[in-house]
Amino acid sequence: MNSHSKLEKVETSALELQKNTKALKSVSLNKNKKLKDAGLFALFVGPVLLAFTLIVLIPFFTGIYYAFTDWNGITGAVKWVGLDNFKYIFTEDKQFLDSFKLTTKYTLVAIILTNAIGFGLALLVTQMLKTRNILRTVFFMPNLIGGLLLGFIWQFIFVKGFASIGELTKIPLFELAWLGDANTAFWGIVIVSVWQGAGYIMIIYIAALQNVPQELIEAAKIDGANRWQILRHITMPLVAPAVTICLFLTTASSFKVFDANLSLTNGGPFKSTEMLALNIYTEAFVNNRYGIGEAKALIFFLVVAAISVIQVTYSKKKEVES
């Protein structure tokens, strides 16, 4: 009995040792796998994260610090002034408030027109047209041209081209001083921005429209639905996620409009078309009041972020309801 018991103990110990060995090997393999995954993650994400930190995060938080100083952006003397910059902006800087109102007006107009035209173009080029691929290319091409270059091209069109057409045809529309009057200059910026952005928005809507099940549309036609009813009750609810994306993109880009504003009017005449981004740029890099410029940029960031979050949240809820 004793020898049999000893043998069982030896076998039990051997089994436990074998199990422990397997467990150690498993832990070692898992550890090596985790190290390998961490190495691959660092290899692929590390450079991007480093670049993002250097180019975006560090300047962002540095800018927040400078928003509470009176630094002129050139000298090394930085004086902490607390909330003085923000008090100045809201109490004495009338131009900032005027630029904010103008930018809000421009954003509302640009969002509506860009999405409406982009969606209309998407509906057009998703029809069975022989030239639909050529039309897609033509409509998208303005988005490939840089904003500054595009602005200077349209500046020539508004100043020289329209004036020449007006002399020949005597049409009042072409005889207007498009960039010399506050009202027409505003609409000039809108025209250029919408012309550039509608093609990009069109591509997103095309992708959404191509995913609409044709069976539903055919069934609706059989049931007697007309084109408007199909668009309203079938197409629009199904492309709602694309609408959310396009509204977000156009909201952010419209609020941040700078290059078209700079190249077309440079804020003129008499700062009547100076948008927020151009106002911030002028304050920081032309007037050399970097602290006030950063304070304006911080306010601008908070406003755009809040509006974007509200817009996306509301649009997502509408998607669920529909």
Digits of tens for pLDDT over the chain (322 positions)?
555 565 555 556 656 656 656 665 665 667 777 787 778 888 888 888 899 999 999 999 999 999 999 998 888 888 999 999 999 999 999 999 999 999 999 999 999 999 999 999 999 998 878 888 899 999 999 998 888 888 899 999 998 999 899 889 988 888 888 898 888 999 999 999 999 999 999 999 999 999 988 888 888 888 888 888 888 888 888 898 999 999 999 998 999 999 999 999 999 888 899 999 999 999 999 999 999 999 999 999 999 999 989 988 888 877 655 5
User: Is residue 72 a part of any domain in this protein?
Assistant: no
How many whole angstroms separate alpha carbon 308 and alpha carbon 302? 10
* Nearest alpha carbon to residue 240 among 186, 154, 156, 320: 320
Are 45 and 90 in the same domain?
A: no
Would you call the peptide bond into 172 cis, given omega within 30 degrees of 0 as the criterion? Answer: no
Are 47 and 131 in the same domain?
A: no
Are 41 and 186 in the same domain?
A: no
Q: Which residue type does 27 have?
A: V
User: Is residue 75 a part of any domain in this protein?
Assistant: no
User: Is residue 48 a part of any domain in this protein?
Assistant: yes
How many whole angstroms separate alpha carbon 251 and alpha carbon 199? 16
Q: Which residue type does 240 have?
A: A
Are 34 and 101 in the same domain?
A: no
What global pTM score does this model have?
0.83
Residue range(s) defining the domain that contains residue 6: 1-66
Are 264 and 216 in the same domain?
A: yes
User: Is residue 8 a part of any domain in this protein?
Assistant: yes
User: Is residue 94 a part of any domain in this protein?
Assistant: yes
Q: How many domains does the chain have?
A: 2
Are 4 and 62 in the same domain?
A: yes
User: Is residue 78 a part of any domain in this protein?
Assistant: no
Are 19 and 141 in the same domain?
A: no
Are 186 and 107 in the same domain?
A: yes
